[in-house]
Amino acid sequence: MKPNKFSLFPLKDPKTLALLAVLSALAVAGRILFVFIPNVQPVTSLVIMLTLVAGLRFGALFATLTLMLSNLILGMGFWTIGQILGFLVIVLLTGFFIRPFQNKLPLVWLALFSGFCGFVYGFIQALFIAPLYGFSYFWAYYLAGLSFDALHAIGNIAFYLVLAPILLPLLRRLFREYTC
């Protein structure tokens, strides 16, 4: 049965599934490689780049698979749901607000958007954790974590500036070859 354009599973053939697996494995390795620096990881920038190139569904699958696999190693818990939700919001922001204009936006603006997503992710994590400690303490918890969100943002900007010029053309070529 051929999936329609509204299918939740965008993989058309085994080659695309293999590409998703390889890209997720590389992202997991990148997340583990930078685990010693708090909140600095290439995953957010990769999620943004893949959403720009392959669309919302592929970006969402990539983010979810990467988090599930890396959390098997780094620690799985209820926070994994919040992490997935945070990345899904980033995928949606990228897909709806950045992807239509990606060819008109300079690299620096896209890198700054990647940095902004570090703060968005942190805010969503604070919202997700809020029921555990009470919503009355939300702002204290969120403000206490801003330094970690700033590290995430700075890391995102650096990763995007370094990786995007190399990976975006490569990803576009791979998706032309593997999905057509």
The pair of three-digit structure tokens given for residue 131, joined into one six-digit string: 């029921």
Residue 8 clears pLDDT 80, i.e. is over it: no
pTM of the complete model beyond 0.85? yes
pLDDT in tens, 11-20: 667 888 889 9
Count of domains for the chain: 1
Distance CA 124, CA 94 (A): 16
The verdict on residue 5 lying in a domain is: no
Range of the domain at 102: 14-179
The verdict on residue 6 lying in a domain is: no
The verdict on residue 39 lying in a domain is: yes
CA distances to 25, 26, 69, 132 from 29, in Å: 6, 5, 10, 31
For the chain, report the end-to-end CA distance as a whole number of angstroms: 18
The verdict on residue 7 lying in a domain is: no
DSSP class of 11: -
Largest CA distance in the chain: 52
Q: What's 136's domain CATH number?
A: 1.10.1760.20
pLDDT in tens, 107-126: 999 999 999 999 999 999 99
The verdict on residue 9 lying in a domain is: no
The verdict on residue 92 lying in a domain is: yes
Distance CA 163, CA 147 (A): 24
The verdict on residue 4 lying in a domain is: no
**What is the sign, positive or negative, of the torsion defined by CA atoms of 21, 123, 89, 98?**
negative
pLDDT in tens, 66-100: 999 999 999 999 999 999 999 999 999 999 999 99
Give Cβ neighbours of residue 77 (< 8 Å, ≥ 6 apart).
71
